[in-house]
Amino acid sequence: MSTTAVFTVEGMSCGHCERTVTAGLTALNGVTNVIADAKSGQVTVESAAPLQDEQIRSAVTDAGFALVGRI
């Protein structure tokens, strides 16, 4: 069973930012799909099992952006 969670991320301004966030989150164990949208600041993360918000937060931080929260 897969899980989908949507987060707000601060600081994405273009397609490059979207790709950076997507790559960082895709690298997390269990993540099967990531959709990052700079315009809305929303990032949709699909995973095989629910992920801890802190895992998402550190991946987003490592990519150079700031996690605002889960929608």
Question: Which residues sit at the interface with Cu ion, rule CB under 5 A?
Answer: 13-14, 16-17
Which residues lie across from 43 on neighbouring strands? 7, 36
Q: Which is nearer to Cu ion, 22 or 47 (CB)?
A: 22
Q: Give min distance, CB of 13 to Cu ion, in A.
A: 4
* CA dist list (Å): 39 to 14, 17, 30, 44, 55: 8, 11, 26, 13, 23
Q: Which is nearer to Cu ion, 20 or 47 (CB)?
A: 20
Which residues lie across from 57 on neighbouring strands? none
Q: Give min distance, CB of 15 to Cu ion, in A.
A: 7
Q: Give min distance, CB of 2 to Cu ion, in A.
A: 28
Q: Measured between alpha carbons, how far is 10 from 63 in angstroms, rounded to an integer?
A: 12
Q: Which is nearer to Cu ion, 16 or 70 (CB)?
A: 16
